Structure 1
Amino acid sequence: MGLPLPERGPAMAGWSGELVLLRHAQTSCTVNGLFCGEHDPPLSPVGRLMSDTLSDADGLKGTSRLYISPSCRSVQTSAALAARFGLVARVEPRLRELSFGQWESRRPDQVRFEQAYRRWYRDPAQCAPPEGETGLAVLARAVAAATEALTLDGRFDGAKVALLTHKAPVRLLICHFLGLPPRQYRQIAPVPVCSVTRIRFDSGRPRLIELGNVDHLPQRWRSAPDDAMDSSTENA
């Protein structure tokens, strides 16, 4: 039996404000298409350049609070953003990436014949990688973190709040707030590295304003940010 889903509907009646869901910038794992949850690589050279552009995203204007995953890649991505807006990056452990257990640092094609992978592929909400984490477990902690981030002294204050996190939490939060089945969260695309997704709450009604926006990145990286190359090394 899976974890109970966080409440929606009437429980969201008093919600106000805006969630800006940010995915960290590029790492060696995104370039190589590896499962990367608890494994914690730093940003790649391109990722460091990407992180410097994140604060230029139009969707971040007016952000008043910033919460970040404790991962190295998230902390590094947040530095320029926090400095630009004069924000304190508050570390929130519940925003960490889904744990891939025995699949950490492996490619999907290396495990695709395992029974556990077939079960997880069919229902990643209820099923987990071996010694890893279910989507529902991530959903429960991410929704709790998002709810608290949108409140001040226990009340929704209408603020724009940024959560700098990872691919699975972003997609699971979208499913939750838009009423989509959690088992379909891996079908939500695009959510590339260094992207901006926005959900606005008006009288408790959530609206998706942006999904995976990377217009702040240089044009040459926008089509495939996860494995983009620095032009100075492409011909090396």
Structure 2
Amino acid sequence: MVDSTTVFDLLRHGEPEGGPMYRGSKDDPLSDTGWAQMRGAITGADRWDAVLTSPMQRCAHFARELANRLQIPLHTDERLREISFGEWEGRTADEVMASDGEKLSQFWANPVTNTPPGGERVTDFNERVVECWHHWQQALAGQNILIVCHGGVIRMIVADAMNIPLEHAFSGLTTPYACRSRIQVNTSVHGRFQSLVAHGVFTALKP
């Protein structure tokens, strides 16, 4: 095994058109505010070798703009799509709470056993995201990578990196619009080690 250090910056999309809601697989573009949030999350100190993005508009449009500006490769991966919230999609948290409050509370308490009506099972969601995450660790080993994705995707990746039980992966991490997380992956003859370096809205760190 070749020794390597790979640094991943995870960037959640900014506010989409329509504002906060259970959006999931609903493919809305960024609002003007969302574009400003995303551009404001990037600094002149950032250095990446490639950008990896969800195909959804709220991620992919900004990722393409950034990759073109930095003149670095852009990779799109379907496995980075957000979880589907089924019947809750397109509705605000207050609206879902008013009509489906008990199920919503159960979902946040334990999403593994409480799938939203018509939605994607968290175990299936986790499986595809973690499969993607491990694939790109190998494919882009030794590089600095930006992943533009979703709140749920970030939760799955951080849970994998920190060995957080899936039952607590949603409620245990807050992911506001345009927040950033940094995970460092070290591989050597001793194995593979993942470390969460930073999380939140922060000024870019040097690898």
Aligned residue-pair number: 197
SS of the counterpart of 1:17? strand
- Structure 1 equivalent of residue 40 of structure 2: 53
Q: 1:214 to 1:46 in 2, by over 3 A?
A: farther
Partner residue of 1:10? Answer: none
RMSD: 2.3
Identical aligned residues as a percent: 22
SS at 2:133's partner residue? helix
For 1:18, give the aligned amino acid: V
What residue number does 1:126 align with?
A: 113
Q: What SS class does the counterpart of residue 142 from structure 2 fall into?
A: coil
Q: Which residue number in structure 2 is paired with residue 211 of structure 1?
A: 199
1:233 maps to none
Question: Alpha-carbon deviations, 1:62-99, whole Å to 9, x = none?
Answer: x2122111111111221332123212322111000010
What CA distance in whole angstroms lies between the structure 1 residues aligned with 2:21 and 2:70?
A: 32
Q: Which residue of 2 aligns with 1:43?
A: 30
Q: How does 1:27-176 map to 2 (within 5 A)?
A: 27-29=16-18, 31=19, 33-56=20-43, 58=45, 60-61=46-47, 63-112=48-97, 114=100, 115-152=102-139, 157-176=141-160
Q: How far has the Cα of 1:151 moved from its partner?
A: 1.8
Task: State the SS of the aligned residue for 1:79.
Answer: helix
* Matched AA of 2:92: R
> Hey, what's the Cα distance between the residues in 2 that align with 1:48 and 1:67?
18
* Structure 1 residues 179 and 57: CA distance shift in structure 2, 3 A: farther
Cα pair 1:51 1:80 within 8 Å, conserved:
no
**What is the CA distance between 1:35 and its match in structure 2?**
0.2
Q: Quickly say closer, same or farther: Cα 1:181–1:15, change in 2 above 3 A.
A: farther
User: For structure 1, which segment, 20-29 or 95-104, has the greater mean C-alpha deviation from structure 2 after superposition?
Assistant: 20-29
When normalised by structure 2's length, the TM-score is: 0.84
Determine which of 144, 163, 178 is the counterpart of 1:179: 163
In the alignment, structure 1 segments of 5+ residues that lack a partner are 1-13, 217-236
CA gap of 1:28–1:147, structure 2 versus 1, over 3 A, is same
Q: State the distance in 2 between where 1:54 and 1:206 align.
A: 23
- Residues 199-232 of structure 1: CA deviation (Å, up to 9, x unaligned): 102232211111023447xxxxxxxxxxxxxxxx
SS in 1 for 2:64: helix
* Equivalent residues of 1:69, 1:165 under 8 A apart: yes
Q: Give the Cα separation in 2 of the matches to 1:125 and 1:172.
A: 12
Contact 2:112/2:123 (<8 A) preserved: yes
Contact 2:184 2:196 in 1 (8 A): yes
Question: Could you say which residue in structure 2 is the equivalent of 1:198?
Answer: 182
8 Å CA contact retained: 2:41, 2:201 = no
SS state at 1:177 partner:
helix
Give the equivalent residue in structure 2 for 1:4.
Answer: none
Distance in 2, matches of 1:57 and 1:126, equals 44
Q: Which amino acid aligns with 2:167?
A: R
